[in-house]
């Protein structure tokens, strides 16, 4: 086998990764959107929520999610809208979906677990609510 610089670099990189000296980081999830259409839909949803128009708010958020389906903020916004509308099971499901895309965003994770706790409490699941709220605290 030939002794080449690229072989040495590959070997050093392998050793560094295995020993924990170097890490490959996944990109951080978005905290909002840079897409103008998504931002307009998000603003529309916020205005609808302020007016108590939950169906309009959820429709706008669902349209935004068709554009950016991996945006954890949009999933959380949808969870919050469903929580405010009294759709507790859906709120919990959408907050959990947000968690799958949240990465290391501790504030987003804490807020999602807070939503899950509130949704569980509203459905009469006191033990589940307590567990979710404890998880929320761990991320704060």
Name 89's Cβ contacts closer than 8 Å, sequence gap at least 6.
119, 123
> What structural domains does the chain harbor?
29-139 (1.25.40.10)
Average pLDDT over every residue of 106-130: 98
Q: What is the mean pLDDT of residues 15-39?
A: 59
pTM for this predicted structure: 0.78
Torsion from C-alpha of 83, 108, 49, 119, nearest 10 degrees: 10
Give the pLDDT score at 34. 87
Give the CA distances from residue 122 to residues 4, 78, 101, 108, in Å, rounded to whole numbers and listed in that order.
64, 17, 25, 21
pLDDT of residue 4: 53
Residue 126 above 50 pLDDT? Answer: yes
The residue-averaged pLDDT of 58-82 equals: 97
């Amino acid at each position: 086998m030939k002794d080449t610089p690229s072989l040495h670099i590959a070997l050093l990189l392998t050793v560094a990764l295995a020993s924990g000296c170097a890490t490959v980081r996944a990109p951080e999830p978005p905290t909002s959107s840079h897409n103008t259409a998504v931002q307009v839909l998000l603003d529309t949803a916020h205005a609808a929520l302020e007016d108590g128009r939950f169906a309009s708010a959820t429709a706008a958020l669902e349209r935004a999610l068709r554009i950016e389906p991996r945006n954890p903020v949009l999933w959380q916004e949808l969870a919050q809208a469903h929580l405010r509308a009294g759709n507790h099971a859906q709120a919990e499901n959408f907050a959990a979906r947000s968690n799958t895309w949240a990465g290391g965003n501790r504030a987003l994770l804490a807020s999602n677990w807070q939503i899950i706790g509130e949704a569980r409490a509203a459905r009469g699941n006191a033990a589940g609510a307590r567990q979710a709220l404890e998880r929320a605290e761990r991320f704060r």
